[in-house]
Amino acid sequence: MKRRNLIVGLGAGFLAGCSKVGKSDPMQSLFKLAEDWHRGAHRALAGKRGLAQEFTKADISPFFRGNGTTDPGDAAYTAHAATGFAGWTIAVTGLVDRPLELTLEQIKALPQRTQITRHDCVEGWSAIGEWTGPQLGTMLDLAGVQPNANYVVFRCADVLNGSAYYESVDMVDAYHPQTIVAHALNGAPLPVANGAPLRMRIERQLGYKSAKYVTAIEAVESLDGIHGGKGGYWEDRSDYQWYAGA
């Protein structure tokens, strides 16, 4: 009940700023949001996987290294970085009732979660960091994920060895309480090396699942036909597993 009020309350100011939602009657949109919340089969998945361990501020690594792409480096990204990503947007698309295009400011205006977690890279290093951002589930609820969506795909701004980086998770991890779209690391805006301005945190899985430089979040029925069809950049070209969790 508390959460429903939060989403409905947020909707009033928030959705007014979304052009694609704005064309319908705002009260109707709000009603629809509440309705989705009650019906949401996906939301029932929220607690299905246990929480990843969380740490204290004393555990935070003094330096959180960047790995893989550490700067997308193209002209468009570089121009965004020069303005502190003021004009950056992230899309929520695919099998949703209300496609969204959210600014960084709108992302920061959503209810936030902060978590101190350990990132484990398959290459054999770990680091503990404090991440802040809205839960992906909140964003999916705002967009109204359709019942036939089975996966959420993350599209990224960087090209690694000639191919766009991307990742995907199932709806259990999409609605996992610790799955957030992070805009801050250790209380400061994300450094470019760590995925500025927005990166996923998929805390129950290995580091490569936590896509950096996210430009779009896409709800899909199947991963077939998306790049190599295996659900992620590394999954398509190595023996890295699509499900990289415990």
Ligand X SMILES: Nc1nc2c(c(=O)[nH]1)N[C@H]1C(S)=C(S)[C@@H](COP(=O)(O)O)O[C@H]1N2
Contacts with Mo ion by CB under 5 A lie at: 121, 207-208
156 contacts which partner out of ligand X, Mo ion, none, CB within 5 to 8 A by kind? ligand X
Q: How far is the CB of 72 from Mo ion (least distance, A)?
A: 17
The Cα–Cα gap between 81 and 71 comes to 10
Q: Does 156 bind ligand X (CB under 6 A)?
A: yes
Q: Does 66 bind ligand X (CB under 6 A)?
A: yes
- How far CA 8 is from CA of 23, 141, 185, in Å, comes to 18, 11, 28
Q: Does 110 bind ligand X (CB under 6 A)?
A: no
Q: Does 42 bind ligand X (CB under 6 A)?
A: no
Opening angle at CA 109, ends 107 and 114, nearest 5 = 75
Options 66-74, 80-88, 95-103, 176-184: segment touching ligand X (CB under 6 A): 66-74
Residue nearest to ligand X (CB): 68
Near ligand X in 213-242, by CB under 6 A: 213
Complex with ligand X: residue 1 or 246, whichever CB lies closer: 246
* Rg (alpha carbons) of the chain, rounded to whole number: 17
> Which stretches of the chain bind ligand X, using CB under 6 A?
65-69, 121, 156, 158, 160, 165, 193-195, 207-208, 210-213
